[in-house]
Amino acid sequence: MRVLVTGGTRGIGRAIVEALAGAHTVYVGCRDLRAGSELATKLGGDGIVPVRLDVTDPATIVAAVSQIEASGTQLDVLVNNAGVLLERASMIGGIIQQVHLGGIIQPTLEVNVDGVIAVTEAFLPLVADGGQIINVSSGVATRATGKLSSADRAELEAAGDGAALRDAVSRLCHEAAALPHQPGDTPMYGLSKVWLNFYTQLLARRFARLRVNACSPGFCRTEIAGSDADYSKREPKSAALGATVVLKLISGSVGAGTTGRFFKECSKPGTPLEEARSSEEGWVA
């Protein structure tokens, strides 16, 4: 099996690559090619192919497509994993500084939305018939969707392409930024994943030759939360445990034959990987 994982050198992406190493050809999408090469060396190198891929840089996307095309193979799975979470407080002079939400709307959408559109559209011709697109989402998105008005949800459901969806979500982000929020809230991240969930359903409707699903690894300890993340209120899972939902979708042990669905890794922190449990969930929580 040939799998491309964006954001493949850290967090959930790295855990996916490590689990697939040795059994499949894995293209490791990475902004830093040196980090990708180091990971390939650590994993034995065989079948692990670093590919410079910055989802916000069109030139690297074009070059990545050309690199994989030159191998003469098609992809069986595209895993859209790369993403950012920018609602992170910082400590300056001993005082916690909360992020200004309006200032992170565009940077969040550039990676979590525009980057996914660019990568998906570029690689779609390389995904073999019967192949998969797996979008790494979050349970934050299903909860955020449940809080939307019926009119907003109808607008998202009616959107005909990723750009129209982006316009609707951008508006929702600006509206959310104007509202009061509490430390620890992640409205921009959550709405970007709302976009991803609706985009998943849109792709599933448009491309019957593929299986297109979204999934949530759950609350995991990864670099996306930043080095100062507070885990005192809730114990996180390991990235390896969270990644099992993606691995189960790839193998077909969950979601076999399904498209346009949402799956969640349901295990408690500390669960042995061989006992990990994933299940299908609704798009709205």
Domain span holding position 171:
2-281
Could you say which DSSP state residue 21 is in? B
99, pLDDT greater than 90: no
CATH of residue 71: 3.40.50.720
pLDDT of res. 64: 98
pLDDT of res. 78: 98
Dihedral of CA 151/152/153/155: which sign?
A: positive
Helix (H) or strand (E) holding 65: helix 58-70
pLDDT of res. 233: 73
Instruction: Report the C-alpha gap between 285 and 93 in whole angstroms.
Output: 39
125, pLDDT greater than 90: yes
pLDDT of res. 95: 42
Reported as a single tens digit per residue, the pLDDT across 153-170 is: 999 999 999 999 999 999
25-30 and 48-52 strand pairing:
parallel
> In the chain, how many domains are there?
1
Q: Which residue has the tokens 């609704």?
A: 282
pLDDT of res. 132: 98
| Residues 152/170, Cβ–Cβ less than 8 Å | no
pLDDT of res. 227: 60
Q: What's this model's pTM, rounded to 2 decimal places?
A: 0.95
| Residues 84/160, Cβ–Cβ less than 8 Å | no
Average pLDDT taken over every residue of the chain: 94
